[in-house]
Amino acid sequence: MAAVTPDQLHGHHAPRGVMRWLTTTNHKDIGTMYMIFSFIMFLSGGVLALTIRAELFKPGLQVVQPEFFNQLTTMHGLIMVFGAIMPAFVGFANWMIPLMIGASDMAFARMNNWSFWLLPPAAILLIGSFFAPGGATAAGWTLYAPLSVQMGMGMDLAIFAIHIMGVSSIMGAINIVVTVLNMRAPGMTMMKMPLFCWTWLITAYLLIAVMPVLAGAVTMILADRHFGTSFFNAAGGGDPVMYQHIFWFFGHPEVYIMILPAFGIVSQIIPTFSRKPLFGYASMVYATASIAILSFAVWAHHMFATGMPAAGQLFFMYATMLIAVPTGVKVFNWIATMWRGSLSFEPPMLWATGFIFVFTMGGFTGLICAIAPIDIQVQDTYYVVAHFHYVLVAGSLFALFAGAYYWLPKWTGHMPSEFLGKLHFWCSLVFFNITFFPMHFLGLAGMPRRIPDYALQFADFNALASVGAFGFGLSQLIFIVVVVKCIRGGERAAARSWESAEGLEWTVPSPAPYHTFEEAPVVR
Amino acid sequence: MNRASGMHAGDHYFVPEPSKYPIVGSVALLLFGSGAALWLNAVPAGRWMFFLGIATLIFMMFGWFGQVVRESQGGRYGRRVDKSFRWSMGWFIFSEVMFFAAFFGALFYARVLSVPWLSSGDNAALLWNGFSGAWPTAGPYAADPFTPMAAWGIPAINTLILLTSGVTLTFAHYGLLNGKRGQLKLGLAVTILLGAIFLALQAYEYIHAYEALNLRLESGIYGSTFYLLTGFHGMHVTVGAIMLTVMLFRTFAGHFSPEHHFGFEAAAWYWHFVDVVWLLLFVVVYWL
């Protein structure tokens, strides 16, 4: 980060100041920008979430109007999915994949810059849509027709923002696939690659396969809105449910796009702090690939309440439950890696073990939602909200923090504060559960999602969840302190910053020089 | 700065120096996206932002691709860079396939599932009484009758044209591989010409559809899928023809050797891809 300068190998004409960041072709610069951008988006989406929780602190309307509340839930989802979680993982990929496979940079360094710099314009369109006449889109992050066909200019801005983010994701994914396939150092065979590279290779494949489908879906909405087509209009022979099929054909692989790199990060960290090699490396690779392939055949489990034929419900129910098998393989392997290991719990390991524990709870509620007769009862209730926050916050986000604490020494050259890291973890874990665990009960009791007001019997759990949410939000400020302290100084990190960390990234100095592996290392 | 300079080509992977083109492209897409959204909502400035965005994008592509061509001609791309380009073009075409899959999926869903559902069971008895559901349809509430596009007129001729263009392009490729530059130029020129004829016939067909057949974007699900599928295909043919035209100019400029001609091959792959999409279109949109 700050310790990395472009002068080490560039000549005198290397751009400085803001031009360095606008024009850079360096994977470390670009990775850093991805992460800073995603953290800003994380805070923005978090502010929206806290506004939602403030409104839901007690029954009745006190903070926002219902129309604006719907905009908040919609934009919270869109910003967190496309602005925070996905770019954060791409940032990790940029920084770490070339270091892990012994490549000098990403395969397409200029295109890499464009992939990043398309995100701020998309964010401007998306967040700017709050100020459009009629406000931002309020159709829910899934943008279901016919709601999305009816809204104002904010919806159009969101559609074009999604197009631009899609272009960014596809270019980023192609870059990662080609880097992994073509840039490995001599001797770095596919089955010797760190698991993070494997999970990203498979994630990138999913991105290339489904981002264009999302582009097609929102293009159809745009055409229905402005050009008189009838894709989602039954009077013209179309079908609003068709939108849901197309969207979730993208949407379900998308949830694996947000979790597979998290699996990769955790699979790097658990062996280091267990001082044992990863248990079942090959089965981890196969499990990841199985999840990716199955993810194309489960999308309609999001649609059990749409009146699908029973044969369809059964197929999608069983296919979904099948995903528990490879996911179970992964959880088993992580625990088997820790089994009889020489464990220590520095911040990265705390976050990783916390991830396993809380993510698995989200996995179990996922299985419950997969069962069609149950899902029809809990569809669109807070039970579902609880489920996907357990996998996205306690899954993706916890793994991102685990990875950040793990590689901060490599990025900044200084060890992150162990005390603050642990404080950040325990505050996050406790407040996360205070926020989201009561939502299971709310959902089972019948509280629908996406409403600004609710019946009195839901008041206590909602108040509790709101307190937890503010605690969770404030806990994240600790992370800013950790990172700033880490950049500015602290205990110097060795090349191998953690005692038994394995992999090429630990063979280069900390902080990693601006250019690494210009001479490809030989892996035996 | 080329850190491969002074080394043997292929030893070091080419990493380009900092470039201003990506950020120019980002500004272009910001103008393009926000301009389009404003224009669609009748804000007068939107149209100008939209066109300014497109102009900026074209400027960016000229600059960026020009630089890539110069780097390639300067011998700065080794064997591994070539391989990267091949992988990336393949994956890019895969993403395009998935884009079309969304629209083919919509067509499949309408024809096989949603239209039959609309015309059967409770829907037929209570809601859309008398709707037969026969394809092609503009839906149960169609006010404006239309005539569907017949397969065995212009579309069949267009199929022949695109298939022929695939052959002429392969003819050009063999010319390139065997060092016969005349054959390369002739094959490329004929391919581009066939592409242009195809596009002209498509344009004629659209006018015919609007004026004589009353087949419009508003013609229900048939009109929706017909125009978006053929329209996006036509846009891709246009892009492919532009790519081939650039390759023709590069051929005249003396670029490409029998061993080193990835740009030509990428354009050819793309052309074959739009060819295959058309075959599928012809079968499921026009014929069946």
Q: Among B25, B105, B109, whose Cβ lies nearest the Cβ of A114?
A: B25
Whether pLDDT at A467 is above 90: yes
Annotated catalytic residue, options A58, A449, A485, A496? A449
- Position A13 confidence tier, pLDDT thresholds 50, 70, 90: low
Determine if the peptide bond prior to B136 is cis (ω within 30°). yes
pLDDT digits (tens, 9 = 90+) for B262-283: 999 999 999 999 999 999 999 9
Active site residue A454: no
3-state secondary structure of B12: strand
Mean pLDDT of B35-54: 97
Kind plus residue range of the DSSP H or E element containing B121: helix B121-122
CA atoms within 13 A on the CB side of A377: 11
Q: Are A337 and A349 within 8 A, CB to CB?
A: no
Percent of chain A with pLDDT over 90: 95
Percent of chain B with pLDDT over 90: 86
The pLDDT of residue B3 is 40
Q: Supply the angle between the helices A86-101 and A27-55 in degrees, to the nearest 10.
A: 150
- CA separation, residue B175 to residues A35, A427, B50, B258 (Å): 49, 69, 41, 9
Mean pLDDT of B215-238: 97
Rounded to whole angstroms, the Cα distance separating A450 from B283 reads: 44
Minimum CA–CA partner of B12 in chain A: A518
Whether pLDDT at A218 is above 60: yes
Whether pLDDT at B147 is above 60: yes
The pLDDT of residue A376 is 95
- Position B223 confidence tier, pLDDT thresholds 50, 70, 90: very high
3-state secondary structure of A144: coil
Count of beta carbons in the 10 Å neighbourhood of residue A133? 9
Cβ A208–B98 below 8 Å, yes or no?
yes
How confident is the prediction for chain A on average, in pLDDT?
Answer: 95
Kind plus residue range of the DSSP H or E element containing B38: helix B21-40
The pLDDT of residue B206 is 97
- Position B141 confidence tier, pLDDT thresholds 50, 70, 90: confident
Active site residue A226: no
Active site residue A252: yes
Rounded to whole angstroms, the Cα distance separating A16 from A12 reads: 10
Among candidates B117, B138, B141, B131, which has minimal Cα distance to B225? B138
CA atoms within 13 A on the CB side of A25: 22
3-state secondary structure of A381: strand
Q: End-to-end alpha-carbon separation of chain B, Å? A: 57
Rounded to whole angstroms, the Cα distance separating A98 from A194 reads: 11
Interface test with A, best of B1, B21, B32, B34 (most A CBs within 10 A): B34
- Position A524 confidence tier, pLDDT thresholds 50, 70, 90: confident
Whether pLDDT at B4 is above 60: no
Whether pLDDT at B129 is above 70: yes
Shortest Cα distance, chain A CAs vs residue B157, angstroms: 27
Q: Which amino acid is at B16?
A: P
Cβ-based contacts of B25 with chain A (< 8 Å): 114, 117-118
Count of beta carbons in the 10 Å neighbourhood of residue B197? 16
Annotated catalytic residue, options A198, A200, A256, A390? A256
List, as ranges, residues 205-234 from A with C-beta within 8 Å of B.
208-213, 215-217, 219-220, 222-231, 233-234
Rounded to whole angstroms, the Cα distance separating B103 from A49 reads: 35
Rounded to whole angstroms, the Cα distance separating A503 from A517 reads: 13
Give exposure, A290-316, as e/b (b: 16+ Cβ within 10 Å): bbbebbeebbbbbbbeeebeeebbebb
Q: End-to-end alpha-carbon separation of chain A, Å? A: 30
pLDDT digits (tens, 9 = 90+) for A152-168: 999 999 999 999 999 99
Whether pLDDT at A18 is above 70: yes
Q: Which amino acid is at A95?
A: W
Active site residue A449: yes
Rounded to whole angstroms, the Cα distance separating B57 from A282 reads: 45
Shortest Cα distance, chain B CAs vs residue A519, angstroms: 8
The pLDDT of residue A299 is 96
Shortest Cα distance, chain A CAs vs residue B146, angstroms: 13
Q: Are B250 and B256 within 8 A, CB to CB?
A: yes
CA atoms within 13 A on the CB side of A192: 15
The pLDDT of residue B11 is 59
User: For residues B135 and A222, which has the higher predicted lDDT (pLDDT)?
Assistant: A222
Does the ipTM exceed 0.90?
yes
Who's near B6: CB < 8 A, 6+ residues apart? Answer: none
Determine if the peptide bond prior to A146 is cis (ω within 30°). yes
3-state secondary structure of B9: strand
Q: Are B33 and A163 within 8 A, CB to CB?
A: yes
3-class secondary structure per residue, A166-231? HHHHHHHHHHHHHHHHHCCCCCCCHHHCCHHHHHHHHHHHHHHHHHHHHHHHHHHHHHHHHCCCCC
pLDDT digits (tens, 9 = 90+) for B70-111: 999 999 998 999 999 999 999 999 999 999 999 999 999 999
pLDDT digits (tens, 9 = 90+) for A406-456: 999 999 999 999 999 999 999 999 999 999 999 999 999 999 999 999 999
Runs of H (alpha helix) within A56-133:
66-78, 86-101, 109-117, 119-128
pLDDT digits (tens, 9 = 90+) for A52-109: 999 999 999 999 999 999 999 999 999 999 999 999 999 999 999 999 999 999 999 9
Rounded to whole angstroms, the Cα distance separating B249 from B226 reads: 34
Whether the CB of A235 is below 8 Å from some CB of chain B: the reply is yes
- Position A312 confidence tier, pLDDT thresholds 50, 70, 90: very high
Whether pLDDT at A501 is above 70: yes
Two structure tokens written together for B73: 């001609």
Torsion of the alpha carbons at A174, A177, A181 and A186, rounded to the nearest 10: 100
Q: Give one DSSP letter per residue of A409-424, joined into a string.
A: HHHHSBPPPHHHHHHH
Cβ A15–B106 below 8 Å, yes or no?
no
Who's near A333: CB < 8 A, 6+ residues apart? Answer: A267, A278, A279, A280, A283, A284, A287
The pLDDT of residue B142 is 74
Cβ B106–A22 below 8 Å, yes or no?
no
Rounded to whole angstroms, the Cα distance separating A232 from A241 reads: 7
- Position B233 confidence tier, pLDDT thresholds 50, 70, 90: very high
